[in-house]
A and B are shown apart, each in its own frame.
Chain A
Amino acid sequence: GESVGLHLPTLSVQEGDNSIINCAYSNSASDYFIWYKQESGKGPQFIIDIRSNMDKRQGQRVTVLLNKTVKHLSLQIAATQPGDSAVYFCAETYGGATNKLIFGTGTLLAVQP
C-alpha cells in the first residue's frame, strides 16, 4: 500500500570515517541494481551499479555489495566527506527492455565535520 510520509532513516558519521548504507530489495527476480545520490532540491545522481551475476563491485571510494540470498544491497563509502551528505537510494530492475526502476525509501547520510 501507500507509505505515509515517514522520516527517512538517518546515518550520522564523522568526516573521514567509512559509511555503510543498507538496502533490502523486494523482488527476487531483480537482476540489476543501482545506487543514487540525491542532494536537496536536485535530481538523483548515479553512483554505482551492479548486476545480479556479481556480488561486489568497486568504484572510486565506493563499493557495492549484493547478497541475493537475503535480497540485501549495501553501499560502502570510504573516507566520508562533507560533500557526501545527501539522501542515498537503491534502485532495482528486472529484465525487460524498459528501464523501469523500483526505488527504495532512501537513507539520509549526515557527515559531521
Chain B
Amino acid sequence: NAGVMQNPRHLVRRRGQEARLRCSPMKGHSHVYWYRQLPEEGLKFMVYLQKENIIDESGMPKERFSAEFPKEGPSILRIQQVVRGDSAAYFCASSPSGGTTGNTIYFGEGSWLTVV
C-alpha cells in the first residue's frame, strides 16, 4: 500500500549543476502535481501533469525548470543550472483524477534540495 514515493529525499548540488527529482504516484493515480516550499512558507503550486501531458504549468519558473510524466516511469522535475535560491523542499502529490476532491490528493514526503 505504497503512497506517493519521492526520491531522493535529500539532494545537495553545487551552483550550476542539474537537479533531478523523481516522483512515483500512488498506484492507480494518473495525475501528478509538483509544489515547492521555501523555509517557513506554504507550498506553492508549480505544475500539474497527466501521463505524457502538461496540463497547467503556470507556477513553473520560465527558465531552467521543466517537468515530465512519461507513459512509463516516474514523473521528473528537472532544474538546470541550479542557484542558491532553488534550495527548497519539493513536494509531489497525486490523485486518481482531476477536479476538486481534496481527500484524494496525496502528498509525498518531499525532496529537500540544497544548493551550495
Contacts and interface: CB of A to CB of B under 8 A. Distances in A.
A89 B91 CA distance: 15
Contacts of B35: 101, 103
B42 to A, nearest CB: 3
A89 B41 CA distance: 10
A46 B102 contact: yes
Contacts of A89: 42-43
A22 interface: no
Interface stretch (A1-9, A12-20, A66-74, A78-86): A1-9
Interface in A34-49: 34, 36, 41-46, 49
Contacts of A99: 31, 33, 48, 93, 95, 98-102, 105
Given A32-B100, A43-B109, A98 B42 contact: no
A93 B41 contact: no
B108 to A, nearest CB: 5
Given A34-B102, A43-B109, A100-B59, 18 more contacts: A5-B39, A6-B40, A7-B40, A43-B91, A44-B107, A46-B106, A89-B42, A91-B42, A97-B98, A97-B99, A99-B48, A99-B95, A99-B101, A101-B45, A101-B102, A103-B35, A103-B44, A105-B42
Contact of A31 (B42, B56, B100): B100
Q: Could you tell me the dominant secondary structure of chain A's interface residues?
A: loop
Contacts of B33: 99-100
A49 to B, nearest CB: 4
Contacts of B102: 32, 34, 46, 49, 91, 99, 101
30 contacts: A5-B39, A6-B40, A31-B100, A32-B100, A36-B107, A43-B107, A43-B109, A44-B91, A44-B107, A46-B102, A46-B106, A49-B103, A91-B43, A91-B102, A97-B98, A98-B56, A99-B33, A99-B93, A99-B95, A99-B101, A100-B33, A100-B45, A100-B56, A100-B58, A100-B59, A101-B45, A101-B102, A103-B35, A105-B41, A106-B42
A65 interface: no
A100 B59 CA distance: 10
